Amino acid sequence: MLKRLFGGSNRNRSADIFYVRIYKSYAPSETDEIVEVRVNLAHDLSLDDDGGYFSRKVVVGPHTFKKAELLLYYDKGRNLRDTEVVNGELVERADYETYRASIQD
């Protein structure tokens, strides 16, 4: 699923972009916000105990102010290894674009 979200490995990238659906309650609904999150690979990663990297982002919905927590785990080469979202889920760019179009109507 990670390759589908990001299109595989790109050695010259400076950032990863994620799309997070923030749950208004404890499960997905049609009124959830979707927020774009940019992770700068040079500045937003911290070294973990295994020699890899991790990043923790608190994502806040601009309309509802609901929060989700995005946890990202990278290997030594700064390649995405795993993700976790608390109070939300990762979605694809198409979902984000559909959401943006729906709130601009």
∠ at Cα 49 (75, 45), nearest 5°?
A: 50
The reply to whether the predicted model has a pTM over 0.75 is yes
Check if the beta carbon of residue 36 is closer than 8 Å to that of residue 55: no
Of 19, 13, 26, 24, which is closest to residue 74 (Cα–Cα)? 13
pLDDT 10s digits, 9-48: 455 689 999 999 999 887 778 889 999 999 999 999 999 9
Beta bridge partners, 47, equal 53
Average the pLDDT over 81-102 and give the result: 96
Beta bridge partners, 35, equal 20
Check if the beta carbon of residue 52 is closer than 8 Å to that of residue 76: yes
Helix, strand, or coil (residue 67)? strand
